[in-house]
Amino acid sequence: MYDHQEIENDEIISLTNTLRWELGIDFHDKIIESIYADATKIAKQSIRVEDAKNSTIFDQKVDSIITSKWFGFPIMFLLLAIVFWITVAGANIPSSWLAALLLDTVHPFLKNIAAQIGMPWWLDGVLIDGAYMAFAWVVSVMLPPMAIFFPLFTLLEDLGYLPRVAFNMDSLFRKAGAHGKQALTMSMGFGCNAAGVVATRVIDSPRERLIAIITNNFSLCNGRWPTQILIATIFIGSLVPPHYAGLVSAAAVVSIAVLGIVFSLLVSWGLSKSILRGEASTFSLELPPYRPPRILQTLYTSLIDRTMLVLWRAIVFAIPAGIVIWLVANIYIGELSLAEYFIDWSNPFALYFGLNGVILLAYIIAIPANEIVIPTILMLTVINSGLTGIGEGAGVMFELDSVADTKRILTAGGWTLLTAVNLMLFSLLHNPCSTTLYTIYKETKSMKWTTISALLPLTLGFIVCFFVTQLWLLFSS
């Protein structure tokens, strides 16, 4: 009897699978469409709304354009590009103001006070050159772009456009075994990966939410944009005539951002076929009507709930990093500092990946905040190369206003075009910052998935840099 029952169960399952494929993969969509069609018909017969016809016709005309196969993606990328451009361009002036205040005014003021009260040099270094400078860099670099990006992103959400983005991207993410709403969390990650991780709460499926969390780091957050822009300007823009330099540099940075989207899809597919195996769940997305944004609510939501929360977490993690940066540059064993020992030890290993020991150390001690990577790289390069008269001393992070002077420092540190390309790739493909890792742990309550979220992109970054380096050396020899 048991065997007979088991055979019947197998036949039922086999018949179910057969019928399922005969019905097609869009069977669920057709059911939902028919339900909504019936509901709309009943609503029209039962409810009368003034100007509803004109409003519906307007929404349908707009949707026929922005969700079409031909115009949907170009419009989406154009709007995101405009948001990024406004964010980067608009943040330059307030960032320079904050830097002038916190770095050029408050820092010397604190140094003078420390000298007047006779504070020991090491305590002065740890607290002012280390902790305070990390705080100042994070605030001046991180706050302005977030204060611009998040309100713009929330305005698009309130306007009703972001659900259309999820609709456009649904087929791609479904093919990758992920959820269509991952497009929204990925877009949020371009502002801040920690905010992107929190945004995955809109995904109901635990499996697909984990995929979205793990892959959100492939969105190039605003903390990594300055690194990309500076390196592209110095090493890639200089390859072409000056009047094309800006365009080529911008294209290089955008290419890295698009590459991040590609890796997000590929890794999502890999996860859905391995440790997070399963089929993409279907979801019903009701496109809301277009409506005027609520400006005050948008500003409150984006500035208080998102910007200030993420900034506070970044500051909490960045201050200890600033202390570590100062200590490794000022604690000596014999004639070399801890930083120089690590750089000399790791250089042979790093060269296999087209990087150097300075870059590795910068990314280790700057885990709390991507915003301090370039200042840390410049400070470590000056120390390791024995350059004098540049910066404000060992352990004091700095940046230069002149791109040419920055290039001279990096070139003195042995940088080449290969180093620059690999840094841009590694900036995209490395472990999330401490703020994002903490947020991942808070959202998943799992050290396992937090560890995977850290190690997977880091491993992928080393693999990609290794193959790029080997192919570069092969074709250049």
> Coil, helix or strand for 196?
helix
Per-residue model confidence (pLDDT) at position 365: 86
Structural Rg of the chain based on CA atoms: 26
Cα(85)–Cα(64) distance, rounded to whole angstroms? 27
Task: Note the pLDDT tens digit of each residue in 190-223.
Answer: 888 998 999 999 888 889 999 999 999 999 988 8
**pLDDT, tens digit (0-9, with 9 covering 90-100), for 296-338:** 777 777 777 677 777 887 888 888 888 998 999 999 988 889 9
DSSP tag of 285: -
Q: How far is residue 5's CA from residue 46's CA, in Å, rounded to a whole number?
A: 50
pLDDT in tens, 51-71: 555 556 777 788 888 888 888
DSSP 8-state code for residue 25 = T
Q: What is the pLDDT of residue 38?
A: 76
> Is the separation of the CB atoms in 269 and 176 below 8 Å?
yes
| Share above pLDDT 90 across residues of the chain, in percent, rounded to a whole number | 35
Question: What's residue 86's pLDDT?
Answer: 84
CA pair distance 97, 141, nearest whole angstrom: 11
Residue 160, Ramachandran bin (φ over 0: left; ψ between -120 and 50: alpha; else beta): left
Mean pLDDT of the chain: 85
User: Tokens for 345?
Assistant: 């030890």
Decide: helix, strand or coil at residue 391.
Answer: coil
Cα torsion angle, 308, 79, 288, 290, sign: positive
Tell me, what's the pLDDT at 426?
96
Question: What DSSP element (H or E) covers 13?
Answer: helix 2-23
How far apart are alpha carbons 91 and 82 in whole angstroms? 14
The H or E element containing residue 445 is none
pLDDT at 53: 55
Span between the terminal Cα atoms of the chain, in Å: 73
Cβ burial, residue 462 (10 Å; 0-12/13-18/19+): middle
Instruction: Give the pLDDT confidence score for residue 1 in this predicted structure.
Output: 46
pLDDT tens-digit readout, 10-62: 777 777 767 656 666 566 666 766 776 777 778 777 776 665 555 567 777 88
Structural tokens at position 379: 């400070």
Higher pLDDT, residue 58 or 343:
343
Segment 430-450 shows an average pLDDT of 93
* CB-CB contact of 203 with 212 (8 Å): yes
- The sign of the CA dihedral 235, 238, 244, 246 is positive
pLDDT range class, residue 371, cuts 50, 70, 90: confident
Locate the domains of the chain by residue range: 71-96+136-273, 317-476
Q: Using CA atoms, how far apart are residues 314 and 326, in angstroms rounded to an integer?
A: 18
Which of 264, 253, 194 is CA-nearest to residue 460? 264
The neighbour count for residue 294, using CB atoms within 10 Å, is: 13
Structure tokens at 161: 């456009």
Highest mean pLDDT among 358-372, 380-394, 416-430: 416-430
